[in-house]
Amino acid sequence: MGHEVVIIGGGAAGLSAALMLTRARRSVLVVDGAEPRNKPAAHMHNYLSRDGLSPLDLLKHGRAEVEGYGGEIVNDQVKSVTKTGDGFAVELFGRTVHAQRLLFATGLVDEVPENLRDRWGRDVFGCPYCHGYEVRDQKLVVFGEEMKVALVRQWSADVTHVPTVDGIEVEDDRLVAVISGSDRIPADALVYSAPVKPRDEFLLALGAETAETMAGPFVRTDDKGRTSVPGVYAAGNVTDPTAIVIVAAAQGAQAAGMINMDLLGLMPAAG
């Protein structure tokens, strides 16, 4: 079964790209494992006209829009991706599909310690732009680089920086304290800088080059979303660890426009 474009990842970046490509009358398949990075959060923010919407509702509406223009979305996992003579073969658990172009919008994983996972995206979070306003003027604890302390103080004057997080205390389903060594720090929220890992194993297997970022090595793209592998594009957190939802969506749209031009043979050579 052949498609002009297979998009791996059905979050904001992948669906935004799919919407643009289906409206350009391209044959598009989106493969989605239904594990978005922001799944634990009840609300997303800084998305113009959708501030406060559930992340899962955004994806539900996005899926409906893509399918309304004839795009196909499957809930499946990718087993392998290989280069073929005229494109790419994507082996799923349910079937194998073929594409002329690939877009990876697979995101990343926040490597949150087990003792914090139940609170992640609630009163334990990594992005103050995404969650800081909801805990404004409260007692905040910051674990991570010193520069984040200055950033978090935009939302509260009561900020404590800790060198470790050895545990938390929860009462009545809300965070009340952070344990750091022998210290118990009263807290309403914890800003925790978790390590992140891009979901890039198939990109790397195809030979995509990486570039060093503050979060470690991420797949390198140019400003059009092109990786170093001809015909392979990437958008969102899999290539940009700092991209919030609206930025990831914009990157998906940008890459989609370039893929369409690429299929028309109108793309300039990578420089």
pLDDT for res 145:
86
pLDDT for res 94:
81
Q: How far apart are CA 11 and CA 33, in angstroms?
A: 10
Q: How far apart are CA 33 and CA 64, in angstroms?
A: 17
pLDDT band, residue 1 (cuts 50/70/90): low
- How many Cβ atoms are within 10 Å of 7's Cβ, its own excluded? 34
pLDDT band, residue 35 (cuts 50/70/90): confident
Name the residue among 271, 210, 270 with its Cα closest to residue 241: 210
Instruction: Return left, alpha or beta for 231; rule: phi > 0 is left, psi -120 to 50 is alpha, else beta.
Output: left
pLDDT tens profile 48-103:
999 999 999 999 999 999 999 999 999 999 999 999 988 999 999 989 999 999 99
Average pLDDT for the chain: 96
pLDDT for res 146:
86
Q: How far apart are CA 147 and CA 270, in angstroms?
A: 36
**Which run of H or E residues covers position 4?**
strand 2-8
**Range 179-211 burial, b when 16+ CB lie within 10 A, else e:** bbeeeebebbbbbbebebebbbebbeebebebe
Beta strands 183-186 and 189-192, pairing class:
unpaired
pLDDT for res 48:
96
DSSP string covering 213-254: ETTEEEE---TTSB-SSTTEEE-GGGT-TT--HHHHHHHHHH
Question: At 153, is the secondary structure helix, strand, or coil?
Answer: coil
CB 248 within 8 A of CB 235: yes
pLDDT band, residue 16 (cuts 50/70/90): very high
Please give the average per-residue pLDDT across 168-179, as a whole number: 98
CB 77 within 8 A of CB 5: no
- How many Cβ atoms are within 10 Å of 27's Cβ, its own excluded? 17
- Radius of gyration in angstroms for the set of CA atoms belonging to the chain, rounded to a whole number: 20
Q: How far apart are CA 108 and CA 217, in angstroms?
A: 12
pLDDT tens profile 118-169:
999 999 999 999 999 999 999 999 998 888 999 999 999 999 999 999 999 9
pLDDT for res 144:
87
**Inter-CA distances, 131 with 42, 113, 147, 230, 244, Å:** 11, 19, 18, 38, 12
Please give the average per-residue pLDDT across 182-193, as a whole number: 97
Task: Tell me which residue has tokens 């634990």.
Answer: 40
CB 12 within 8 A of CB 50: no
268 is written with which tokens? 């300039």
